[in-house]
Homo-oligomer: A and B are copies of this chain.
């Protein structure tokens, strides 16, 4: 139906009695065409049912696909239910839309082969959203194809990156807890790598995390001079995981007086666990998160957190991708975070 013999610009030109090039100009408006001719061409187009220039042909001629691929975790369901990803993607989509660039959405897990789309899809650049480890198949495939890449949440030499002041964020959060008199502080980290397992981490000597934000946020806590009394790596950044971690941390005699979770979703889970255990927040335990997302279902509580400029991050990523497409060199951007006061932290009770 679509692939069949649709009418082309040549048909229009023939019908209007002009050359193809003139017809082209009449449509694109990119050159001088007599108003009368223009009218005639447009009329012919309408008459014979011409649907406008074929975007693929245009792309071939221009040498640009007009499309930026956005690589997200394999399960969109998860990527999107997470407000952090959703809001970032929203920012990317806005900026790309403003520049009339298409957004090719490519789900791809970190391990295993890159999907066919990534290997063969038409794209001028790619944005790897979400956590990616150095050896990432997606990144590698893109490199081989020579597609310029923008990485979010990662440190890469060979790609543009949009980073975050993770480290300053958790440092600030930790200092605030210290100021409130907390000394027994536990941490729920982000995943260290793609393995997806829940496990206690040695707070004195944690393994090196493959994921940059995990590494940086941990470093921030240490910057504030704190060695956590307990540290737990969740399988994923999900509410359910937060609940599980919360139980492991709070349902014990030597309960910490404060918990820092490296994401709001995890912090929310810890809060729910505290509620289930009959603990009052913040009287019995203080809980801090990271991201500053809006979690209306946590009402009446609002997480004490650190906001990252998610929409802006998306804008920056899209902008970086567009720049690379235009031949720009990969730049490395670092976005600031700002403390967001909430109801879930308070002075330590003795």
| A residues in contact (CB < 8 Å) with B | 1-4, 6, 51-57, 59-60, 62-67, 70, 75-77, 80-81, 83, 85-87, 89-90, 93-94, 97, 100, 102-107, 115-117, 119-122, 124-125, 144-148, 238-240, 243, 268-269, 272, 276, 296-300, 324-325, 327
Contacts and interface: CB of A to CB of B under 8 A. Distances in A.
Nearest to A62: B3
A120 B52 contact: yes
A17 B317 CA distance: 43
A117 B104 contact: no
B272 A299 contact: yes
B297 A276 contact: no
B297 A268 contact: yes
Nearest to A241: B296
A1 B327 contact: yes
Contacts of A299: 243, 272, 276
Given A2-B124, A243-B296, 9 more contacts: A1-B148, A2-B125, A2-B325, A80-B86, A90-B107, A97-B107, A102-B104, A122-B122, A269-B296
A66 B117 CA distance: 10
Given A102-B121, A107-B93, A148-B1, A76 B86 contact: yes
A115 B99 CA distance: 11
Given A243-B299, A300-B276, A97 B81 contact: no
The 6 closest A-B pairs by CB, nearest first: A80-B80, A55-B122, A3-B63, A77-B90, A80-B86, A76-B90
